[in-house]
Structure 1
Amino acid sequence: MAAPLFYQQLFTLDSGLRPLFKTDIELQAMKLMKMLRGALDLLDQPDELEDTLHDLGARYSEYGVRPRHYATVGAALTTMLEKSLGGDFTLETRQAWVALYHLIAATMLNGAAHATFSSAA
């Protein structure tokens, strides 16, 4: 399964992220795959995708996820995909995933910023 590779890479890149994950890592891995599948399923519904990611970013900020963590997650995701897909992880595939992750991260960061602003008001 690809998700354990993601978490292995994530915690190798930043072991300080481990305490943010309160649930069993196998359950967390299933949630990650469900979230990625959901994002892919909503690509043709950009408004719904944006709302979903905005809410997710707000919720993650409450769990302690900070803007600096998004780059680490992106690097771990790219490594996971590269190791999982092997030769099928072409330059074009990499570019598509990187672009998608940038969209996901930017939208989630926007949701986190609005949640922080709203809770400070």
Structure 2
Amino acid sequence: MRGRDIALAIGGAATAIWIEGARPAQAHAILSESTPREAQIVSGPDLAVGLRFNCRIDARRSRLLLISPDMHGTVLPLLDADAADELRATLTALRHGAYRLHWQVLSVDGHITRGDVSFRVGR
């Protein structure tokens, strides 16, 4: 009888592992591409911004902040995106210097992720 109990326990654990593995993975949102690219030099003064992630995001609960060369932060109004995995915005009147786009997104799995894309406006 004891051997049967052990076999049932092992079978139950194996079934639980198999069921857990069969569910689709819920990954955090990871930046997969951006315009501008990291460390890119752009001409400005206006620039279209696009950030694409590896999964769907909740754009209404996501934020995009531009940090200027003088370290002043501006929350950017988001444009309607073409896809559920992207954020879009337009930058205007950029001066020469180093900028940073700080993004914060809420992925559909309920997790918040953050990151930065640095770029430079050159001559």
Find the structure with the greater CA-based Rg. 2
| TM-score class normalised by the smaller sequence | under 0.3
More strand per residue: 2
Task: Using CA pairs under 8 Å that are at least 6 residues apart, name the structure with larger relative contact order, 1 or 2.
Answer: 1
Q: Given the two structures, how large is their TM-score scaled by the length of structure 2?
A: 0.24
Q: Given the two structures, how large is their TM-score scaled by the length of structure 1?
A: 0.24
